Structures are given as structure tokens and as C-alpha cells.
Amino acid sequence: MTDNVQAFLGRYAGKRSPMFWLVIKTSLLTLLTVGIYRFWGKTRIRKYIWSSTSADGAAFEYTGTGTEKFLGFLMAVVVLAVYLGIVQMILFYFGLTIFSEPTTQAEMIAQIGAIYITLFAVMPLIFFAQYRARRYKLARTRWRGVRFGMEKGAGGYVWRAIVYYLLTAVTLGVLTPLATFNLEKYKADRSWYGDARIEQHGKWTALYRAMIHPILGVGIFLIGMAVLGATKLADLSIVLLIVGYIWAMVGVVSYRVQSFKYLTKNKLLAGKITFDTGIDTGTIVTTLILGSLVMGIILAALIFGAGVLVALSAEALIMMLGPVSLQIVLGLLYLMALLFSGALTMAWVTQPIIEHVVGSIAVYDHDDTLAAIHQREADQGADAEGFADALDVGGAF
Amino acid sequence: METPRNQAKARLFDGETAQEHRVILNALHRDQIYVQISGDTLDTPLEWPVKDLRALRDQSDGSRLVLSYRRDTDDEAPRDPARLIVTDPDWLAWLHVTHDDLFTRDLHKGTWRKVITRSAMAVAAVVLMLFVILPRMADTLADILPIERETAFGKSVTAQMERFLGGKTIGALHCSNEKGQAALERMMARLSQGADLQYDINITVFDHEMLNAFAAPGGQIVLMRGLLEQAGSADAVAAVLAHEIGHVESRDATRGALRSAGSAGLLSLVLGDFSGGTAVLLIAEHAFQASYTREAESAADVFAIEMLNKAQVSSDGMAQFFDLIGGEGGLELPEYFSTHPASDGRAVRARRNSDDQDVTRPVLSESDWQDLLTICD
């Protein structure tokens, strides 16, 4: 390593109030357009988040458009309409041909359950959509005027994801690090910033350190079960079960945070640019709990207020406009509650987490490598997340 | 339009490398107004026409503008890939005040045509699938499904229905009074006289107050106690039974299950997930299911009338039954939304048929009818 190192520190400048009203505004428009505005709404929210994210004073830019997302969705509908309709029906038919007369409740439930297994027909498509969505997001992200990008490779991702997740399921989660590491490596190694490649280094076994808390949680839970089975100590076993359950839940968050940390620290850009992150499990868990609490309180207060108002005016409403009017008012209130909880979650939970993650990241440029990185070709990104949208894949934004 | 008198410092990313340029902005008057961008790290100064300047939208930092200019490129929007970051207050004020097109969205040529053709394709694909391909496939698959498999599936559906209605174990709701069973068998024997049925009809009475009956796949027919009690006559019950046999013979339940397996995923895909989306989805799916089951209902009515005629049972009971369910339920749904065709029309048809019937005999003797009513005791 040479002496010429320049550090770029991540900073997130987004604020709660503009984010809250942006989400309210876009969700209202989405509602009024029976869902069609969602493509433009998602775009506007991303533009806000990306422009709030900066390193060395240069903000990121999101260049995706609502129109291309809508077009991508329409294309995905054509493909999926044919695939889902036909495949689901054929699988259902074969589900029927293995039916026999049920004699017990359990058998009956198992057979009805078997029919829902047809839902697995969409699993390959979901992995496909995940990869394509990440590729689209990268292709529409710029920093310092230079595009990010990702190579084509959704097909290879699909079978790898199926194999690794099956291995994870068969080993009851013991091989989770193998799946996490190799799938991230597959995606990272195909990612670019301009003409510079990103590489994922490190070993999958190193992620076992991050597995400590989920394993401890499950362990305590199992001991609780054993105590319940072997002795009559109901109090002790209940305490163990609750502690184990909460520990495992927090452990899952901890695993995601710690594996993100390890994977980020072991990434390399253009062979010379390194990354670091001080992301902290405690901060994330606290944000999740406190944010949800604040959100819950605001929402409960709003629902209570609205409930009182409706209760007071219900009789008058029914008298004047008939019983249907009350149902309409309640329906509208339900939609409002949905809308508010979405906006509150974004402003009080999701955005603070983004803020922490972005603020924790540092990029180290050695020997002015960054300034020499060149622009890459624009990626037309055929479906622009259309599959992900149609299949409901993807997170909060 | 007055241009800012002073030069301003700004930062430029040229869209070719990730290098940052420290630049100076000048306003140039020639055939039109240009922003001249010059700096030590730029080979030659850039000149961007002011009327083509575009700023990024939905930015979180109001104290700066990120500028580009309109140009036909491969980019998502027709913009030059270079980005100019302006923070100088005088320049910001000038741009905001004098430049109306600063936040205009530009579209590539042909975008609207693409939106229209793709929308048409998507709608065509969904309509074709829902109304042509999936129904055909469902019909074909329903026809080639072996009857014993269909029967097994039907028993499973019936068992599930029983559990849904509150039965704790399989058979818990079955009514099995011997005299009642015998009466039911006599009714079935009378109806199936001379009829060539491809299914073994298996009739069960559920001990439940609901006024309802249904046909599950493979010859499984369920009548509810509430229907027997409220039907008013044995002839009415026979009409309902004949109607359900019609469903069994044309494999409607199997067809419906196959169809909804194909169409459910498809509909949820189209309507997507947005606030209240689930409610819209339920309504849409119901409306869709209803639109094709209505045909099946009419066909089952025709089947039932023929069966009654052949068995010399008066279809007057059928008319009375439709009068009865026509008066049921408070909320009147338009015909499109209800699974069964409007009952008034069905009652009229049944009554007109009964006027033309020659000789009719009650389907059960009075004592048999009383026995049937006690099947759940």
C-alpha cells in the first residue's frame, strides 16, 4: 500500500418530513390511478434517496424513469401471463392426479397443502427478477457522472440460488453462510463502476462468526423445549422459550448486519479502491424498535381519533346517507391508515436505517485510481424491474 | 433576460471520467445565451445553450442545482451525460427565475407509441389467457382427468368445506337418519330414471342451517339442512338436486378449480400490490369468476328442467325455490357480480315449463318427505 490514500466518507442528508410527504403524495396518486402511478412514485422516492446520499460532497444520481418501469412491467405481464397461467394450471392438474381419498383431517390438510406447492413454479422467476432488479438499479445509478452497471447473468443466478437455498433448507440453515457469500459474490463480481470491476474477496466460512447470535437464540429455544418436555418446570421453560425466540429474531438482524460488514470490507474496486464500514447491529436494532414504536404510537393516535369521530357521527351518517355510507367511510379510513403506515415506516424506520448504513461507509482511493475511471456504455435494461414489480419482489424502495 | 454579471465557481463531472473539474461559469451572448464552462482541467471550454439546460428533479438538497442539457443520447432521458453542480446563489436565482424549462421532462422520440403498443399487447395477452386459453385448457384437462382422481379431489373439497362449516372431524356434520337416507335415495332413484349419468352421485346432507347446496368434483353433492327446511316442498329439493347433478355431469367444479388455479396468479400479477390492492383484487377475481360461472348456472338450470320433465316432476317446485332465494339477502348485486343469474328470470322459466308439462307426480310421498326432513335428527 502506498502513502497516497484519499478517504471518501458516506453521508446521508435526507430528512424525515420531506420523505414522509413525498411518500404520502406518491401513494395518494398511486391510489387515484389504480396503481399505475406506482412506477413514477417509486422513481421519485429513489431520486430523493439517491440525491441525499453523497461521498466527498458529490451526491449520487438516480436516472431511472417511471415510463421505462411502466413499459418493463407491461412486457413482464405478457411473458408472465402466459407462463404463470399455463404452468400453474398444469402443476395443479398433476397435483390432482396424485390425489387419493382422505380419511383423516391431517391427510386432507396435507393434500390441500400439496396443491399450494404449485406456487413454487414462480420461485425461479423470483430469483430471476431479483437479479434483474439489482442490475437495473445499478445501471440507473451514477456517481460523479459515471454509471454503475452489472453484466447479464440472471440465468446463472437462478440455478445457483435454487441450489444454495435448497442446501440451506436441507441443512436446517447450517449452510446459510455458503448461500449468502456465494450469491453475493456472484452478483458483486459482475458489478462495475464505469470501466472498473468490483471484486468480492474473502471466504464463506468467515461468515460463521456472524452466525453466533442466531445459533445461540435457536439453542436457547431448543433447551427451553427440552426443559418443557423433560421436567414440569413450566415457568423456566417459558422464560427460556421467550428469551430464545427474541434472541433468534435479533440474531437474524445481527447476521445480516455482520455479513454485510464482512462482505463490504472484502470488496475491491478497480483492484485498488477499498471499502470499510462501521455499521453497528445495536444501532440498527434500536432504530427498528424505536422507529416502529414511534410509528405505532402515531398511527394508534390517528386511528383512535378517526374512530372517535366516526363513532360520534355514525348515526347522523346513516340517517342522512344510508348504511352504505358508513361502510364507505370505514373503507376510506382503512386506506388512509395503510397509506400513513407506509409513509411513517419510510420516514421513521427505513430512512434512518439507510442513514446509518450510508454514514458508516468509507471508500479509500489509492493513487488517484478513481479519477482515471472511465464512463461505461448505457444499459438499456430491457425490463426495467418489470418482473420484480409484477412478482412483488423487492423491498421498501 | 438579464444574465448574472459575475462569474461563478462550480463543479463539473464531464460524463466521460470520474474526475472532478473545478470550473468557472460565464454567461455568453451570441445567437442565444450560452453558459460557458471553463477550467484548468478541461481541454477546451464547454458551451451549453441556456434554453436547453435541465436540472435533476426530486433532489433533497435545495441549495444547489445539478444541471445537464437536452441532447439526443442513449441515456434514459435525452440528456448529455455531463453534470454541472451549481451552488452560487446569484446563478441559482437567475436560473430559477428566468428559465421555465429547467425542470421539464423530455421524452425520447416514439415513447408514446411504445407505451400504446405495449399496453395493447399486455391487455391482449391477459384477455387471451383469461378468456380463451385458460378456459380451453381447463376444459381439456377436466375431460382427461380420470374419474376416480376427480372423485378423490371432490371428497377432499367436501371434507374441507365441512371443516370450514365447523365440523371437527370428517363426517361430523353428516346427517345419517336411516329413514331420511332412504327417502333421499328414493328421490335420487326417481330423478335418475332413464337418465344416462356418467358419475356415481354421492349425496350428503350437512347438519347446518345455511340455505345452500353445492356440487364438488366427481359426483359429490352436498345439501344443507337449512335448504331442506326452507325449501317448502320435496319437488323444490328435487329441483335443486337436479341442478347440482347438472353441475356434476358437466364437470363444472373441476373446471372451475383448474381455471382459478391458472387465473388467480395472473390477476394478482396484473393488479400488483398497492394500498388497498388486495380489496380490488378480491372484487376483480369475484367478478371474473362470476362472469363465467353464470353460463354454467344457466346450463345446469336447463339440465335440471329436462331431468324433471323426464322424471315427470313438476318444475313448479323449482319456480318456488327461485322465488325463495330471490327474496334472500339484503344487498342487491347487479347481475354481473352475482354467481347465479337473476332469480326472477329463472323462476319465470321454470314456471313457463311447468305450464307445458303433461302429467306430473310429486317426487316423494308426503310421509317420505317428512322422513327426509328428519334426516339430521
How far apart CA B192 and CA B238 sit, in angstroms, is 11
pLDDT of residue B196: 83
Q: Which distant-in-sequence residues (6+ apart) come within 8 Å of A315 by Cβ?
A: none
How far apart CA A192 and CA A270 sit, in angstroms, is 9
Phi, psi of B57 (to 5 degrees): -95, 170
The residue with greater pLDDT, B306 or A323, is: B306
DSSP secondary structure letters along A48-106? HHHHHEEETTEEEEE---HHHHHHHHHHHHHHHHHHHHHHHHHHHHHHHHT-----SHH
**Residue located via cell numbers 440465468:** A155
pLDDT of residue B275: 39
Among candidates B66, B73, B137 on the partner chain, residue whose Cβ is nearest the Cβ of A89: B137
Q: Which of B269, B271, B280 has the highest number of chain A CBs within 10 A, making it the mutation to test binding with A?
A: B269
* Structural element, H or E, at residue B8: strand B8-13
- 3-state SS of chain B: helix, strand, coil percent to 5? 50, 15, 35
Residues in chain A within 8 Å Cβ distance of B13: 58, 144-146
What average pLDDT is seen over chain B?
Answer: 84
pTM for the full model? 0.80
Is any Cβ of chain A less than 8 angstroms from the Cβ of B263? yes
Rg of chain B over Cα atoms, rounded to whole angstroms, equals 36
ipTM field: 0.83
Does the structure show a pLDDT above 80 at B141? yes
The proportion of chain B whose per-residue pLDDT surpasses 90, expressed as a percent, equals 33
Q: Which of B16, B106, B275 has the highest number of chain A CBs within 10 A, making it the mutation to test binding with A?
A: B275
Residues in chain B within 8 Å Cβ distance of A140: 76
Does the structure show a pLDDT above 70 at B2? no
The per-residue pLDDT for range B358-367, each reduced to its tens digit, is: 888 898 999 9
Are A178 and A167 in contact by the 8 Å Cβ rule? The answer is yes
Residue B103 to chain A, least CA–CA distance (Å) = 14
Q: Which distant-in-sequence residues (6+ apart) come within 8 Å of B95 by Cβ?
A: B53, B55, B65, B67, B86, B102
Q: What residues 278-307 of chain B have any CB closer than 8 A to a CB of chain A?
A: 279-280
Among candidates B73, B126, B152 on the partner chain, residue whose Cβ is nearest the Cβ of A101: B152
Exposed e or buried b for every residue in B62-80, given b needs 16+ CB within 10 A?
Answer: eebbbbbbbbeeebbbbbb
Instruction: Give the bridge partners for A192, in sequence order.
Output: A149, A197
**Per-residue pLDDT band at B331 (split at 50, 70, 90):** very low
Are B193 and B311 in contact by the 8 Å Cβ rule? The answer is yes
Cell output for B275: 394500498
In chain A, DSSP assigns E strands to: 5-12, 53-55, 58-62, 141-143, 146-150, 191-193, 196-200, 267-269, 273-277, 361-366
pLDDT of residue A104: 66
> What angle do helix axes B234-249 and B366-373 make, rounded to 10 degrees?
70
Check CB contact under 8 Å for B262 and A71: no
How far lies B150's CA from each of A95, A99, A334, B16, B213, in Å? 11, 8, 41, 66, 19
Q: What is the average per-residue pLDDT within B78-96? A: 92
Among candidates B57, B155, B258 on the partner chain, residue whose Cβ is nearest the Cβ of A89: B258
**Per-residue pLDDT band at B276 (split at 50, 70, 90):** very low
Q: What is the average per-residue pLDDT within B1-18? A: 84
Cell output for B89: 446563489
Residue B368 to chain A, least CA–CA distance (Å) = 32
Among candidates B57, B58, B266 on the partner chain, residue whose Cβ is nearest the Cβ of A81: B266
Exposed e or buried b for every residue in A97-109, given b needs 16+ CB within 10 A?
Answer: eebebbeebeebe
Check CB contact under 8 Å for B60 and A52: yes
How far lies B39's CA from each of B15, B30, B83, B305, in Å? 16, 21, 14, 92
> pLDDT tens track of chain A, all 397 residues?
456 899 999 999 999 999 999 999 999 998 888 788 989 999 999 999 999 999 988 899 999 999 999 999 999 888 888 887 777 777 777 777 766 666 666 666 666 666 566 566 678 888 999 999 999 999 999 999 999 999 999 999 999 999 999 999 999 999 999 999 999 999 999 999 999 999 999 999 999 999 999 999 999 999 988 888 887 777 888 889 999 999 999 999 999 999 999 999 999 999 999 999 999 999 999 999 999 998 889 889 988 888 888 888 877 777 777 777 777 887 888 888 888 888 999 999 999 999 999 999 999 999 889 989 999 988 887 788 888 887 777 666 7
How far lies A89's CA from each of A75, A318, B129, B288, in Å? 22, 46, 12, 17
Question: Helix or strand or coil: residue B194?
Answer: coil
Does the structure show a pLDDT above 80 at B155? yes
Residue B333 to chain A, least CA–CA distance (Å) = 13
Does the structure show a pLDDT above 90 at B21? yes
pLDDT of residue B128: 87
**Residue located via cell numbers 455568453:** B28
Phi, psi of A177 (to 5 degrees): -60, -35
Nearest C-alpha neighbor of A64 from the set A80, A49, A79:
A49
When mean pLDDT is compared across A100-114, A255-269, B185-199, B202-216, the lowest value belongs to: A100-114
Question: Helix or strand or coil: residue B20?
Answer: strand
The per-residue pLDDT for range B334-348, each reduced to its tens digit, is: 444 455 666 678 888
Minimal-distance CA residue of chain A relative to B161: A108
Cell output for B231: 325449501
Among candidates B85, B122, B137 on the partner chain, residue whose Cβ is nearest the Cβ of A78: B122
Nearest C-alpha neighbor of A76 from the set A397, A379, A377, A393:
A393
Check CB contact under 8 Å for A85 and B266: yes
Nearest C-alpha neighbor of A168 from the set A159, A160, A177:
A177
Instruction: Give the bridge partners for B12, in sequence order.
Output: B21, B84
pLDDT of residue B334: 44
How far apart CA A346 and CA A215 sit, in angstroms, is 30
pLDDT of residue B333: 43
